[in-house]
Structure 1
Amino acid sequence: MLSTLFDGCCRARTATRSYRLVWIFLVIGLLGMSAEVFAHAVAEGDKGYIQEITGVNLIAFTYLGAKHMVTGYDHLLFLLGVIFFLYRMQHIAIYVSLFALGHSTTMLLRVYFNVGINSFIIDAIIGLSVVYKALDNLGAYQRWFGFQPNTKVATLIFGFFHGFGLSTKINEYDISPDGLVPNLLAFNVGVEIGQLIALAMILIVMSFWRKTDGFIRHAYTANVALMSAGFLLIGYQLTGYFIA
């Protein structure tokens, strides 16, 4: 009896230490990022290149779209939360398609019609999407409110906001109106390619992790860390909004 109790205490302490270590490393990593990375700013080299070229440049914009998604930590955190407990490929395909439909729609419409939206607010909402999904994975809405929000609808809606976030970065390129539509479509294709590449890497890691005994044991800690990252993103963007 005592040995069982002792083992239980040891496991609890180990889990607590694991949570603290994950959270500490997460905070250090996020705080260690430069302001440019946190703001998800466009690289100066890419920006200068786009400002110099005119006409239809499908390959260049496809590359830029893929690069932006693969290095887009905020989008990747949300995707990680979405597929965290999805095991079947058809389910993953449905949610990823809804996310792609959402961000493709608003990204194209906002750039084409030049809709003005504050980038700090949009990025804060993107951070909120990470928090929402982490809480969903933790079953918080069932415990707090007694109901489960429609996860497919939520993925689509947050996809719209992620699209607004992508479009703010496109506007930073100051794209020439000559060839705008085909270049935007190429950028969007690049985003989808980048999303598939990033998703493949996430799924490879997740598939190995899910085969271990520690997956279920550490799933709670991982989603708490995910939620913490979302709150940090929200706080950083809102601070930028009030200071800018």
Structure 2
Amino acid sequence: MLVAFLTVPLLAGSAFAHAVAEGDKGYIQEITGINLLPFIYLGAKHMVTGYDHILFLLGVIFFLYRMKHIGIYVSLFALGHSTTMLLGVYFHLGINSYIIDAIIGLSVVYKALDNLGAYQRWFGFQPNTKLATLIFGFFHGLGLSTKIIDYDISPDGLLPNLLAFNVGVEIGQLLALAAILIVMGFWRRTPSFFRHAYTANVVMMTAGFVLIGYQITGWFVS
């Protein structure tokens, strides 16, 4: 069941990672002033449709069972994501979108390998998973800020609108996390969980490599 869910990014195409829909793009470019509710909606929509976010979150909580631990890791990701998204747009700190999206793909690969115990087997040590979650959260936020900068958001009401967008992102993250936890909760109760956990993480890692390859190719041909 979960393996089928993980294959969606491979079929959907990597072009939509961190993308903002064309209709939303036009709306962002046209409106001025403070528009809190629309930006909350746009932020939530971005998170629940951003499969790169969802894949990374899935990888982070894959083997976490206690809500306390889940809360710590999700909060670290939210802190990193929110910080660079807000600062990146406010101070107009854009990064090449192909490079940042390739790094985001790398975050998915990193977490899948971590779940597979690859670092302990290959290098004999375990990376600091909390620090890695925070750092990759920074990159996920930069990915979104880069897209927003490209859409020339109006400076009129910029800070309130960005804060509203970030609130929406966090709402969307909670909704996505709730859906993941429900699915994982049912799956973990079945005998197939540990039998198919390896395959699920390999599929997740493959999705990350597809995103990396797509973005690197786009960087060279653009």
Give the TM bin, normalised by the shorter chain: over 0.9
Distance (whole Å) between structure 1 residues aligned to residue 89 and residue 14 of structure 2: 24
Q: Does 1:33 align with 2:12?
A: yes
Unpaired stretches in structure 1, ≥5 consecutive residues: 1-17
Q: Aligned to 2:48, which of 60, 70, 74?
A: 70
Contact 1:111 1:171 survives alignment (8 Å): yes
Aligned-partner Cα distance in 2 for 1:36–1:139: 30
Amino acid of the residue matched to residue 202 of structure 2? V
Match of 2:67 in 1: 89
Residues 47 and 172 of structure 1 are in contact (CA less than 8 Å); yes or no, is this contact kept in structure 2? no
Q: Which amino acid aligns with 1:174?
A: D
Q: How does 1:1-80 map to 2 (within 5 A)?
A: 26=7, 29-30=8-9, 32-33=11-12, 36-37=15-16, 39-80=17-58
Contact 2:14–2:211 (CA under 8 A) maintained in structure 1: no
Task: Name 2:160's counterpart in structure 1.
Answer: 182
- 1:129-172 CA deviation, whole Å, 9 max, x = no partner? 00000000000000001010010000000000001011122223
Q: 2:95 aligns with which of 106, 117, 129?
A: 117
Residue 36 (structure 1) shift: 4.5
- Alignment-mate amino acid for residue 115 of structure 1: L
Q: How does 1:125-204 map to 2 (within 5 A)?
A: 125-204=103-182
* Unaligned ranges ≥5, structure 2: none
Task: Look up the SS of the partner of 1:86 in the other structure.
Answer: coil
Look up the match of 2:84: 106
For residue 115 of structure 1, report the CA deviation from its aligned partner: 1.1
More displaced 10-residue stretch of structure 1: 89-98 or 167-176: 167-176
Give the Cα–Cα distance (whole angstroms) in 1 for the partners of residues 106 and 13 of structure 2: 21
Distance 2:79 2:12 in 1: 30
TM-aligned CA deviation for residue 34 of structure 1: 5.3
Residue 41 of structure 1: how far off its partner (Å): 2.5
2:56/2:108 contact within 8 Å kept: yes
Q: What's the CA shift for 1:116?
A: 2.6
Residue identity opposite 1:195 in structure 2: Q
- CA–CA distance in 2 between the matches of 1:91 and 1:33? 31
Deviation for aligned residue 1:35: 6.6
> CA–CA distance in 2 between the matches of 1:229 and 1:31?
6
- Which secondary structure does the structure 2 equivalent of 1:60 belong to? helix
Distance 1:163 1:31 in 2: 22
AA in 1 matched with 2:137? G
CA distance in 1, matches of 2:195, 2:9: 25
Shift of 1:53: 1.3
Alignment check: 8 A CA contact 2:93 2:146 kept = no
TM-score (norm 1): 0.86
Matched, 1:215 2:193: yes
93-102 or 43-52, larger mean C-alpha shift: 43-52
User: What letter corresponds to residue 128 of structure 1 in structure 2?
Assistant: L
Deviation string 1:30-80 (CA, Å, 9 cap, x unpaired) is 45435752x542211111122221100000100000000000000100000
Cα shift readout 1:106-137 (whole Å, capped 9, x = no counterpart): 11111111013101100000000000000000
SS of 1:87's partner is coil
Counterparts of 1:88 and 1:149 in 2: how far apart (Å)? 21
Q: Letter of the 2:200 partner, please give it.
A: A
